Structure 1
Amino acid sequence: MNWQKIHLFLHTLCRYSLATIIIMYAFAKILKTQFVSEPSVYDMPIGSLDGFRLTWYYYGYCYWYGLVIAITQIASALLLFFRKTTRIGIILFLTFMINILLTDFAYEIRAKEVAITLTLMALFVLFSDYKALLKYFIQEPPLFQNSDRPKWINKISIVKFIYIPAVFITFFVVFTNLKDEYLKEDKFYGTWENLKTKERFHFESMSSFQINKLGESKNIANGEYSFTKDSLTLKSSDSLNKTKNYLKGKYRLSHSSLTIATQNGDLNFTRIR
């Protein structure tokens, strides 16, 4: 059995199959048969959208964005049709194919089997030429050698072993502190629905709140809230940026229920999220 010929036939089959299939998906984007949301989706609250509808709405929101993806897919297909340009074509193909594969799994898109198959075929084409890739990316000397650089740069190049960890540690600490300062979630954080009026109270980051009704984007009220051990105060701003108490009272809180005792009676809420 001639394994070289079998490898040749499989390699050629994969190249042409990948190029042909991806052209199909490219034209689906260009002609708007992919990333198209049904009219009913536009009136659904974002929290009710499943992964498929959310992804299709996101990618379909801007036509030219999908068009750029389609052009990239066509470019990779044309490169895959020719042996001399297969290397760059397969690398370009994998840049979007792996993203598609991850998206399908993360957002439960009903095309996982196709994405897995195409990714495995692309990896077969890529690693069929692993010697050339290894030589170019690893074994080939870098663009600038030590002899090309000033001596003082070579002497201090060891500093990078301090600089690189410092970058990781610095950004980790900075963003951890920013999260604790501005995105910290207190015990009220989340969405609570008034059992009587069906109004939804959204307690959000930086001690801010918004009140609206399900399916309505316009706020009934918004502002900032504060609380003590047993008291909760919601302050809203009017059109003149004057602050006033929107709601104030004693509260009883559990994981799934909230009761606020006000002068006009008790307000009972259940946690939505």
Structure 2
Amino acid sequence: MNWKRVHFYLHTFCRYFLATMILSYAFAKILGTQFTSQPSTYDQPISSLSGFNLTWYYYGYSFWYGIFIAISQIASSLLLLFRKTTRIGIVLFLSFMVNILLVDYAYDIQGAKGMATTMTIMALFIFFSEYQLFIKYFLEEPPLFQDFESPNWINKSRKAKWIYIPIIFIGLFFGLSTLKSKFMTKNQFYGTWQNTDTNSKFKNFNFEFANTFKINGVHNIDKIANGQYSFANDTLTLKTYTKEYEAFLNNDKTNAILSPDTTKMVTLIKGKYHFNKNVLTIQIDANKIELKKVR
């Protein structure tokens, strides 16, 4: 059997198959038959959406982003249809196909995994058919600028990269870890709590990062109040922004929301708190707020 000829037929089939299939996906994005959510999706809580609905809504939110992906897919399709441009076409194809494959599996997009897996395997077959050429180009070919073309002081200081690299890895990791511990620590209040009093307009209490809170109405959609909370000993205090100060924070570009001016806040709720498993009780004089943790 002439394996070289078999390779040729298989290589050609994969090129034309991938070019045809990805072209159909590109036109689907342009014509709006892909990344289009049903009207009912918009009224559902995020926590109730499937991975498919989340993905389709996310990618469909921006029409021009979908068009950009479609243009990239059309370009790769055209490049794959010609032998001379197959190499650049397959690199472009894999740049988005691998991401599509990961999204399909990570978000459990049923019905798309099989085709995405097949197309990725075929694309890798085309790519690795010339793996020696890619190794030569990306690894063996000399870099753009040679040592003799660089200033002497750069050549002498080149070894400093072995100090710079661990510094940025360690520095960025611990720097971001510090920011996380300062602004994203989850205390005992963190999460969504539902008011057991069905007559209260304060339906859902959302205790969030940086000791901030949002109180919403039915279905956790209608906004009632938001602000910051603090707790000391057994007392919990929720302070909300004045309308003027909230308007300022909404338009502020200096991240003042991370350290708001407490003098421009008013106390919304203050009382003794108590935890009993998944129930949080706030005693305010003769009144009591009982909250049950939802998530």
SS in 2 for 1:179: helix
Establish whether residue 96 from structure 1 lines up as the match of residue 103 from structure 2. no
Question: CA 1:228–1:149 in 2, change beyond 3 Å: closer, same or farther?
Answer: same
- 1:225 is aligned to 2:254: no
2:30 and 2:286 map into 1 onto residues whose CA distance is: 58
- The 8 Å contact of residues 15 and 80 in structure 2, kept in 1 or not, is answered as yes
Partner of 2:174: 173
Residue in 1 that maps onto 2:242: 238
Could you tell which deviates more after superposition, 252-261 or 17-26?
A: 252-261
Alpha-carbon shift at residue 148 of structure 1 (Å): 1.2
Which amino acid in structure 2 is aligned with residue 217 of structure 1? I
CA-to-aligned-CA distance 1:120-178 (integer Å, 9 cap, x gap):
11000000011111110011111111111122211110000111111111111211111
Q: Which runs of 4+ in 1 moved over 3 A?
A: 214-218
Q: C-alpha distance in 1, partners of 2:191/2:148?
A: 60
Q: Superposition pairs for residues 14-29 of structure 1, below 5 Å? A: 14-29=14-29
Kept after mapping to 1: 8 A contact 2:203/2:220 = no
Aligned residue pairs total 273
Say if 2:204 and 2:220, in contact at 8 Å, map to a contact too: no
* TM-score normalised over the length of structure 2: 0.89
Instruction: Identify if the C-alpha distance between structure 1 residues 86 and 146 changes in structure 2 by more than 3 Å, giving closer, same or farther.
Output: same
Matches within 5 A, 1:164-203: 164-197=165-198, 199-203=203-207
C-alpha RMSD of matched pairs (Å): 1.4
Unaligned segments of structure 2, at least 5 residues: 246-263
Q: Which residue of 2 aligns with 1:85?
A: 85
Q: Aligned equivalents of 2:166 and 2:222: distance in 1?
A: 46
| Partner residue of 1:260 out of 282, 286, 295 | 282
* 1:132 match: 133
Farther-moved stretch of structure 1 (238-247 vs 95-104): 238-247
Q: CA deviation at 1:214?
A: 3.6
Give the aligned residue type for 1:112: K
Please state whether the residue corresponding to 2:22 is helix, strand or coil.
helix
Residue 36 of structure 2 aligns with an amino acid whose one-letter code is V
Tell me if 1:59 matches 2:81: no
After superposing the two structures, state which structure 1 stretch, 114-123 or 234-243, moved more. Answer: 234-243
Gapped runs of 5+ residues in structure 1?
none
Which residue of structure 1 aligns with residue 251 of structure 2?
A: none
Q: Assess, with a 3 A threshold, how the Cα gap between structure 1 residues 20 and 269 changes in structure 2: closer, same or farther.
A: same
Deviation, structure 1 residue 254: 4.4
Question: What is the CA–CA distance in structure 1 between the aligned matches of 2:125 and 2:77, rounded to whole Å?
Answer: 16
Cα deviation, residue 215, structure 1: 3.3
Q: Given the superposition, is the C-alpha separation of residues 244 and 264 from structure 1 closer, same or farther in structure 2, using an over 3 Å criterion?
A: farther
Rounded to whole Å, the distance in 2 between the matches of 1:244 and 1:145 is 65
